[in-house]
Amino acid sequence: VSEGPGHAGGRDEKAGGDDPRPPDRLPGQAIRRRRPEERRGPGEVGEEPDPRFTFANERTFLAWNRTALALVAAGAAAAAFLKSNLSGARLLVALPLIVLGAFVGLHSFQRWEANERAMRQGDPLPYSGVPRLLAVTIVVVAAITAVFAVIDLVKD
């Protein structure tokens, strides 16, 4: 039986209203703390959504996970094969990619669960700030790599 909006996922709408509890998610906060009733598996709440939406959610999870694997692969390749005259340059490029890959991998599963739960309960899909983090990190790592490449070129 669906618990409906307002019980598990729809509390954001009540922030600032008569509810004495603090809001689930502050402005700018990507992920809110899960309440005990939300710690059940997504299959134990609400009703089965349209299979097309379930498949789409699964494909989104897979796409995020492939992104995580690509980040790890890029980091491992940079650690093994990047040649630079500057000490530490290799790790400065490789480690952020690997750490971000691990984070994105974990986030993909959490995101799938949150989306599945929201769809089953008829709630809005939760917001995630991870795409922004991913884009910023890739731009920063690319800039660092470019700087190292130019320095190496000048030194040679």
Partner 1 sequence: VAPGPTPEAPGGGPAERTALAWGRSSLAIVAIAATITKSGLEAHESVVAVAAGVLLLGAAGVVSWTGARMSAGRLAADREGSQQARRSVLAVLTAASVFSACVAFVIALLA
| Cα torsion 39, 40, 41, 42: sign | negative
Which of 122, 128, 101 has its CA nearest to residue 32? 128
Name the DSSP letter for residue 8: S
User: Tokens 């990507």, residue?
Assistant: 30
Closest separation between CB of residue 137 and partner 1, Å?
14
Which of 12, 108, 103, 100 has its CA nearest to residue 57? 108
Residue placing its CB nearer to partner 1 in the complex, 53 or 127 = 53
Residue placing its CB nearer to partner 1 in the complex, 9 or 101 = 101
Please tell me whether residue 148 binds partner 1 under the rule CB under 8 A. Answer: no
Distance (Å, rounded) from C-alpha 111 to C-alpha 104?
A: 10
Task: Enumerate residues 74-103 that contact partner 1 by CB under 8 A.
Answer: 75-77, 79-81, 90-91, 94-95, 98-99, 101-102
Task: Enumerate residues 18-47 that contact partner 1 by CB under 8 A.
Answer: 41-43
Read off the amino acid at residue 99.
Answer: V
Binding site for partner 1 (CB under 8 A): 41-43, 48, 50-52, 55-56, 58-59, 61-63, 65-66, 68-70, 72-73, 75-77, 79-81, 90-91, 94-95, 98-99, 101-102, 105-106, 108-109, 112-113
